[in-house]
Each structure stands twice: as C-alpha cells, then as structure tokens.
Amino acid sequence: MHRQDIGPRMFGDRLGYNRAVSVDRPDRWLVLAGHESRGPDGAIVHVRDLRGQIETTFDRIAETLDEAGFTFADVVQLRYFALDVAAVTAHFDVITARLERENCRPATVLVGVTALSDPDMLIEIEGLAVR
C-alpha cells in the first residue's frame, strides 16, 4: 500500500490535518463507527466537559484500532460531529496534540449537529483506517 498525504497549504504542518489522503491498493480497511466518551459501564463520562470527552473518545478509538490490528497512523479520515463547533474549535489543541503524538494526519471534517445519540454527549468521532 502507498499513502500520499495532500496537506493543507494554509495551515502548515502542525494541524494534524490533510486536505486529502490518497491510498493505493490497501490490503485492509477498518470503518470506525461513531465513538464517544463512554466509561467501562457504558455511561457517558466527562459530562459537560468537552476536553475530557475528546480525550476519552480518542482513547476509545485507540482501543478499537488496537483490537483490529491498526494504529492511529493508519487512520486516513476522521469525522467530528459536535453540538458546539465553536467550543470544539476552542479545544482543538487537544485534538492536534493527540494526532501529532500518534503520527496521524487524516482528512477531516467538523460538523455541527443539533443532537447526538445520548443527551450527555458533546462530540462523536468516526473514521476510516487502511493498511
């Protein structure tokens, strides 16, 4: 498999973002359903704490990737669904720090929504990984 990151001209290299990611002949695909900030009992954790929900959601994604034999470096797309886009933008440093640490530069979109599947959720993240 060959991967080509098509980077963002206007944001430089530090954003944890690409305008596009080209992948030639991947052997495996992993489609990540929406992940959220759930604890071991299935309840939402970090209620009313967006930073905490972002961090925990990334931890849940990491667990799924690991279980499937993938890493964050294999992630080529992430889609963020949030109740408050401005709040996510204000806390985007949490996202970029995690993506930089994981050597992950996916194509992304941040979408504002009016509701998520649990009223305590502030953000949901889904994605695509390839190997």
Relative to beta strand 20-24, strand 2-6 is antiparallel
Location of structure tokens 């695509």: 128
Distances in whole angstroms, Cα of residue 93 to Cα of each of 15, 61, 75, 90, 110: 9, 18, 19, 8, 14
Fold of 2-130: 60s Ribosomal Protein L30; Chain: A; (3.30.1330)
Per residue, the 3-state secondary structure of 18-66, as one string, reads ECEEEEECCCCEEEEEEECCECCCCCECCCCCHHHHHHHHHHHHHHHHH
Domain ranges of the chain: 2-130
The mean pLDDT values, 10 residues at a time, for the chain of 131 residues are 73 66 89 97 97 98 98 97 98 95 93 98 98 93
pLDDT at 8: 64
pLDDT at 22: 85
Q: Which DSSP state fits 72?
A: G
